[in-house]
Amino acid sequence: MFWQIELVGGDLMIEVIDDIKNKIYEIRGKRVMLDSDLARLYHCKNGTKSVNLAVRRNIDRFPNDFYFQLTDDELNHLRFQIETTKSLNMARELPYVFTEQGVAMLSSVLHTEVAEEASIE
């Protein structure tokens, strides 16, 4: 289950987002979320750059079953599912996707208020 997490007046506000179900894809037999969607969820100021940098700095916490980079074919297939490239918030390199365990680990290594509070909760 995924939540929208916000700090409001110093209080942590957590609410389930139904639309987040539309951000979960099945790739290689695993349910995953795109790095760009997670960057928005965790309020990363530099978007996917922040997500990918946090992973590289903590690579020992992210085994292959926590995240992986899409191939060209997987990305093309995903584009058909989403129906638009703009929704992917495309960077210059192929996007990474995170499994449920990777999403949880990401919240513990990102340095945003939202991610830190989510990790504590």
Give residues with Cβ within 8 angstroms of 93, minimum separation 6. 69
Helix axes 48-57, 100-109, angle to 10 degrees: 90
For position 120, what pLDDT does the model report?
45
Domain with residues 3-120, CATH architecture? Roll (3.10)
Per-residue pLDDT tens over the stretch 77-86: 888 777 654 5
Q: Is 110 helix (H, G, I), strand (E, B) or coil?
A: coil
* pTM (predicted TM-score): 0.74
Type of residue found at 85? T
Per-residue pLDDT tens over the stretch 99-111: 999 998 998 888 6
Domain-wise residue ranges, the chain:
3-120
Determine which of 1-5, 59-63, 92-96 has the lowest per-residue pLDDT on average. Answer: 1-5
